[in-house]
Amino acid sequence: MSRFFTRERFGRPQFLAGLLLLAFLAQCLWLTAHSARHTQTADVFRVDEGLRQWRGVGIAGTTHQPLDSEVSSEYAPLVGFEANGGFDPNHSPMWYLIASAPVLVWPGSQQPDDSQYWGWLARAPYLFFGTVLGASLWYVARRLYGNAGGYIALALYCFSPAILRSASMWDVEPEIGAAWGAFGAVFTAIAVAHTLYAPREVVLWNWRRIVLLGLSLALAVGSQFSLIVVVPLALGFMLYVAPTRRAATMAIWGAACLLAFMLLLASYFFHPGVLLASMRHADYGVRLHAFSMGGAYLAALTHLSESGPALEIALPVALITFALWRRARYFGNAAPLIVAAVFLLLGVGTPHLPAFYFLAVPFLFVFVAGIMADLLETPYRNVLLACIWGLLAASAIWNLIQLAAVRG
């Protein structure tokens, strides 16, 4: 135990990151306190579906779930159940089970009119996902770019209106779980590929990372069917990082995919027929005509602007620097940019699934942090440091002013 509590694991950087995450959680709790009193029909439907599956009444989001409640019967047509053979085209039962789990285990909180407690419990999983995604983002950015990169990425994250809204479910669908799954899948795949050069039996040695990769893939795909795209993305990065260890790469990737499939099957309570039918009715399609629509690109810019003024200013600077400065064009910077670009393109091609825009944001935070950390290593460090922290501080103050104006 004494080896675990070391200064390397729990030092000044971890303390400062913890303070930022506490500030993030406090903002989420503020928003939740002002929104939990006004539970939306979609929230009630999601929890209601999950609760009935937990109790053994059908499978959430499928034809095996009888819509016998007034809320479910009212809301199901709005999400496309009837036009899609009775299946949710975008989400697996995992999405419903996660939302309803805290309400299930808290006695006396399952009445829709008990919104003060019910609303808090229904949001608890997403507050957790938002916090651990922030911790994961800080860990990845710090490992890639040092302490400065970790602080910049986490500061961008903790004061981003889009992230705060999703984690506290402020008039948006909860996509923060899908974001954590996608983020974890990509960077876990890269991390496990880097360990393939170690002189040991890599498949057995990497069992923890295999489990983490499988969990990330299951959470991503289970929260949003279209995130199946993360599976080949993870394999592509693994093969790029470890081109001489393809057999081990395929073995690890296959084991993680098998674990993800078993977890997804478990969310269907091990009804493989229902799982296959749900996969057939899932909506993965990219609308090619959307790429010729100017409104789709305008929507992309609008969604990115909701991530905060700091990203609006820093992202163009980072892109220009990446394009013009050869030193900044290395894998650690390119990988998050590539994933963000893929998600943004998918967002343009799937205007019915705006979640892709949100999923790109954490990767853009990492990319911006990497470029800024590189710039801080130039002779202009002091000037750039003042500009960067001034921008982050101004963005944080602006966000806090907006939060203070929130009324439930």
What pLDDT, in 10s, does the model give residues 101-129? 888 877 555 555 555 666 788 889 999 99
pLDDT value of position 217: 96
pLDDT value of position 245: 85
Rounded average pLDDT over 266-283: 89
Contact assessment for residue 180 and residue 219, using Cβ atoms and an 8 Å cutoff: yes
pLDDT value of position 68: 55
Distance (Å, whole) CA 382 – CA 379: 8
Place of tokens 């999703």: 166
Distance (Å, whole) CA 219 – CA 223: 6
Q: Which of 38, 24, 60, 25 lies closest to 118, judged by CA?
A: 38
pLDDT value of position 5: 45
Which of the residue ranges 4-18, 234-248, 318-332 would you say has the lowest mean pLDDT? 4-18
pLDDT value of position 169: 85
Among 180-184, 200-204, 344-348, name the most confident range: 180-184
Among 115-129, 163-177, 388-402, name the most confident range: 388-402
Contacts of 294 (CB under 8 A, 6+ apart): none
pLDDT value of position 111: 57
Per-residue burial over 337-363, b if 16 or more Cβ lie within 10 Å, else e, is bbbbebbbebbbbbeebbbbbbbbbbb
The Cα-based distances of 8 to 5, 70, 89, 146, 151 in angstroms read 8, 54, 45, 13, 16
pLDDT value of position 207: 80
Tell me the Ramachandran region of residue 270: left when phi exceeds 0, alpha when psi lies from -120 to 50, beta otherwise: left
Which of the residue ranges 18-22, 23-27, 347-351, 359-363 would you say has the lowest mean pLDDT? 347-351
Distance (Å, whole) CA 389 – CA 72: 48
Distance (Å, whole) CA 370 – CA 217: 25
The half-sphere exposure of 97 on its side-chain side, counting CA atoms within 13 A, is 22
Which of the residue ranges 23-32, 205-214, 363-372 would you say has the lowest mean pLDDT? 205-214
- 29: its two tokens: 């709790």
Torsion angle in degrees (nearest 10) through CA of 161, 174, 79, 105: -150
Categorize the per-residue pLDDT at 1 as very low, low, confident or very high, splitting at 50, 70 and 90.
Answer: very low
Give the type of residue at 12. Answer: R
* 188 pLDDT above the threshold of 90: yes
pLDDT value of position 360: 95
The percent of residues above 70 in pLDDT, for the chain, comes to 85
Rounded average pLDDT over 268-285: 86
DSSP label of 226: G
Contact assessment for residue 134 and residue 81, using Cβ atoms and an 8 Å cutoff: no
pLDDT value of position 255: 93
* 16 pLDDT above the threshold of 80: yes
pLDDT value of position 64: 65
Q: Which of 184, 192, 193, 186 lies closest to 240, judged by CA?
A: 193
Distance (Å, whole) CA 16 – CA 30: 21
* 8 pLDDT above the threshold of 70: no
Q: Which of 266, 148, 258 lies closest to 211, judged by CA?
A: 258
Rounded average pLDDT over 220-241: 94
Distance (Å, whole) CA 78 – CA 263: 28
Contacts of 83 (CB under 8 A, 6+ apart): none
Mean of all residue pLDDT scores within the chain: 85
Q: What is the pLDDT of residues 353-376, one digit of tens each?
A: 778 889 999 999 999 999 999 999
User: Can you say how many angstroms the Cα of residue 189 is from the centroid of all Cα atoms in its chain?
Assistant: 16
Categorize the per-residue pLDDT at 4 as very low, low, confident or very high, splitting at 50, 70 and 90.
Answer: very low
pLDDT value of position 161: 93
Backbone dihedral angles phi then psi of residue 392, each to the nearest 5 degrees: -65, -40
Q: What is the pLDDT of residues 296-341, one digit of tens each?
A: 788 888 888 888 899 999 999 999 999 999 999 999 999 999 999 9
Backbone dihedral angles phi then psi of residue 66, each to the nearest 5 degrees: -65, 125
